[in-house]
């Protein structure tokens, strides 16, 4: 399979850094189009894990021995890199969590529990992943608050006028994604943040689908919270970031109690550690945090603009080819999209399409993509989703198309 040089990125060289891509699945070269679920990892990230466990595994922050110091430095280096990556104001604003799911739960449980009262309103959007729905629902149930939902237009964009009408002095939190995992829609988060701030609400942005694709500048956005999952950004699973404005984090109660998050403990009273450690109870996922730094470096070295340009070319190419098929319906045709192509084939279950593609070595995701309310709104059970990363090629999209032609011939 050819892997050409596109734009200024050498895709062939990039692919060489991803060992997992070079294998056959069901006798065919693997075509990995499930990047919105999790991206593959470059050798630098894999080697960082091996280096950590073979060279300097130690618990951090507490030891004075050499290994503990080395591990602590590597851990804190990632915080430094993450701060720069999203242009946070300080490292105190970067909390390591397991991923976006934990980040949203942390904010709902701490900021939410401390600030939401009966009849307050929380606004999410109809495009949200379950992890940006359920924690708010739980909070609303507990506090007798109300969950409001920004409607989704036919093309998969948010209805901004409807959003403005939902806003009022009762709105306390607005929580939306930067980009939709099911449809790819890039949301106008700067405008959403501005409008929400106008009524005094705080705003959380779920950046799960933005981290590897879109520029993120939390100061320019002026969001209050921003969440990322490393595993969708060429990094390891089990680690992510919660960014929060320092003045908000300072006032929030801790999330979990335990070691590291304390300043002083007596049986009568415990005082808490400074930021960011107040929110990092217990031994963290040290190895994966250390390796995450190499994923950030991978993205920085390629340049997000270059990555986005390549992925856009792939998206435009695949969209053109799919649109030409009368049996295929694209789901999500927003003007601004990350590289997610969702589709259905009339009369064929997405699961069957996924299985047939897998027999040809093509990995796509099928189903509701943890956005069941969105699928209900669209009146479908689910979609087939191909999502592209920087190592994907047009030749791989040609393979996908061959697979889709075959599904149509075979099933219709
Ligand atoms: N928010 C969005 C927009 C997501 O796409 C996902 C994961 C999450 C939150 C949760 O992230 P986690 O890292 O805590 O699991 N999305 C998907 C997906 O589209 N297919 O598998 C996981």
User: Could you give the CA distance from residue 234 to residue 338 in angstroms, rounded to a whole number?
Assistant: 16
Q: Indicate whether 249 pLDDT > 90.
A: yes
Q: Where are the domains of the chain?
A: 5-32+303-411, 47-300
Q: Is 131 a pocket residue for ligand 1 (Cβ < 6 Å)?
A: yes
Q: Indicate whether 3 pLDDT > 70.
A: no
- Residue 4's pLDDT is 53
- Is the domain spanning 47-300 CATH 3.40.50.10470? The answer is no
Q: Distance, CA 230 to ligand 1 centroid (Å)? A: 11
pTM for this entry: 0.97
pLDDT digits (tens, 9 = 90+) for 383-408: 999 999 999 999 999 999 999 999 99
Q: Indicate whether 321 pLDDT > 60.
A: yes
Q: What is the mean pLDDT of residues 78-91?
A: 98
Instruction: Choose one of 105, 135, 181, 238 to mutate for the ligand 1 pocket test, by most ligand atoms within 8 angstroms of C-beta.
Output: 181
* Ligand 1 atom at shortest distance from the alpha carbon of 371: 19
User: Could you give the CA distance from residue 198 to residue 120 in angstroms, rounded to a whole number?
Assistant: 16
User: Could you give the CA distance from residue 171 to residue 218 in angstroms, rounded to a whole number?
Assistant: 21
Nearest CA among 221, 213, 216, 211 for reference residue 100: 211
In percent, the amount of the chain with pLDDT more than 90 equals 97
User: What CA–CA distances, in Å, run from 226 to 167, 174, 277, 290, 360?
Assistant: 20, 12, 18, 20, 38
- Residue 177's pLDDT is 98
Q: DSSP character for 274? A: P
Q: Which residues pair with 321 in a beta bridge?
A: none
pLDDT band at 2 (very low <50, low <70, confident <90, very high): very low
User: Could you give the CA distance from residue 226 to residue 217 in angstroms, rounded to a whole number?
Assistant: 10
Q: Is 101 a pocket residue for ligand 1 (Cβ < 6 Å)?
A: yes
Q: Tokens 């109660």 correspond to what residue?
A: 253
pLDDT digits (tens, 9 = 90+) for 5-23: 557 899 999 999 999 999 9
Q: Which of 140, 223, 227, 370 is catalytic?
A: 370
Q: Distance, CA 99 to ligand 1 centroid (Å)? A: 9
Instruction: Choose one of 108, 206, 229 to mutate for the ligand 1 pocket test, by most ligand atoms within 8 angstroms of C-beta.
Output: 229
- Residue 7's pLDDT is 73
Q: Distance, CA 155 to ligand 1 centroid (Å)? A: 21
DSSP H stretches of helix in 167-303: 189-198, 218-221, 246-251, 286-302
Cβ(62)–Cβ(394) below 8 Å: no
User: Could you give the CA distance from residue 171 to residue 136 in angstroms, rounded to a whole number?
Assistant: 13
Kind and range of the H or E run holding 405? helix 394-411
Q: Which residue owns the Cα nearest ligand 1 atom 6?
A: 208
Q: What is the mean pLDDT of residues 118-138?
A: 98
Q: Are strands 171-177 and 225-229 parallel, antiparallel or unpaired?
A: unpaired
pLDDT band at 245 (very low <50, low <70, confident <90, very high): very high
Q: Would you say the C-alpha torsion 274, 280, 284, 286 has a positive or negative sign?
A: negative
- Residue 1's pLDDT is 43
Q: Distance, CA 369 to ligand 1 centroid (Å)? A: 8
Q: Indicate whether 225 pLDDT > 80.
A: yes
Cis peptide before 15 (omega within 30 of 0): no
Burial label, 357 (beta-carbon count in 10 A; 0-12, 13-18, 19+)? buried
pLDDT digits (tens, 9 = 90+) for 273-317: 999 999 999 999 999 999 999 999 999 999 999 999 999 999 999
Query: Catalytic: 370?
Result: yes
pLDDT band at 121 (very low <50, low <70, confident <90, very high): very high
pLDDT digits (tens, 9 = 90+) for 161-170: 999 999 999 9
CATH number for the domain whose boundaries are 5-32+303-411: 3.90.1150.10
Cis peptide before 276 (omega within 30 of 0): yes
User: Could you give the CA distance from residue 63 to residue 253 in angstroms, rounded to a whole number?
Assistant: 27
Share the mean pLDDT of the chain: 97
Q: What is the mean pLDDT of residues 233-262?
A: 97
- Residue 77's pLDDT is 98
pLDDT digits (tens, 9 = 90+) for 330-374: 999 999 999 999 999 999 999 999 999 999 999 999 999 999 999
Q: Which residue owns the Cα nearest ligand 1 atom 17?
A: 37
Cβ(123)–Cβ(148) below 8 Å: yes
């Amino acid at each position: 399979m050819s892997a050409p040089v596109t734009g200024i990125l050498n895709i062939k060289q990039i692919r060489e850094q991803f060992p997992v891509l070079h294998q056959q699945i069901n006798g065919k070269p693997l075509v990995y189009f499930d990047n919105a679920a999790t991206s593959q990892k470059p050798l630098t990230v894999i080697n960082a894990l091996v280096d950590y466990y073979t060279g300097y595994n130690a618990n951090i922050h507490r030891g004075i021995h050499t290994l503990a110091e080395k591990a602590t430095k590597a851990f804190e280096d990632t915080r430094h890199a993450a701060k720069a990556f999203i242009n946070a104001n300080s490292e105190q604003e970067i909390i390591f969590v397991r991923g976006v799911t934990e980040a949203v739960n942390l904010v709902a449980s701490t900021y939410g529990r401390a600030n939401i009262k009966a009849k307050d309103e929380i606004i999410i959007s109809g495009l949200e992943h379950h992890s940006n729905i359920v924690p708010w629902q739980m909070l609303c149930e507990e506090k007798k608050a109300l969950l409001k939902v920004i409607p989704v237009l036919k093309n998969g964009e948010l209805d901004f006028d409807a959003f403005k009408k939902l806003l009022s002095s009762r709105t306390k939190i607005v929580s939306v994604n930067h980009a939709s995992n099911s449809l790819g829609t890039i949301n106008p988060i700067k405008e959403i943040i501005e409008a929400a701030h106008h009524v005094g609400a705080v705003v959380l942005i779920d950046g799960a689908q933005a981290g590897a694709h879109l520029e993120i500048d939390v100061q320019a956005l002026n969001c209050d919270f921003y969440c990322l999952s490393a595993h969708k950004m060429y990094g390891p699973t089990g680690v992510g970031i919660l960014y929060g404005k320092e003045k908000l984090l300072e006032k929030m109660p801790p999330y979990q109690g335990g070691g590291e998050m304390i300043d002083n403990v007596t049986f009568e009273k415990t005082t808490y550690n400074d930021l960011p450690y107040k929110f990092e109870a217990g031994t963290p996922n040290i190895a994966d945090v250390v390796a995450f730094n190499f994923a950030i470096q991978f993205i920085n070295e390629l340049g997000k603009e270059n990555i986005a340009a390549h992925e856009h070319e792939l998206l435009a190419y695949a969209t053109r080819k799919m649109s030409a098929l009368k049996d295929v319906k694209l789901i999500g045709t927003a003007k601004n999209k990350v590289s997610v192509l969702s589709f259905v084939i009339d009369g064929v279950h997405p699961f069957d399409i996924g299985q047939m593609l897998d027999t040809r070595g093509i990995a796509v995701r099928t189903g509701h993509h943890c956005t069941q309310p969105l699928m209900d709104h669209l009146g479908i059970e689910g979609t087939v989703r191909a999502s592209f990363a920087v190592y994907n090629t047009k030749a791989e999209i040609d393979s996908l198309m061959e697979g889709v032609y075959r599904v149509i011939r075979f099933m219709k």
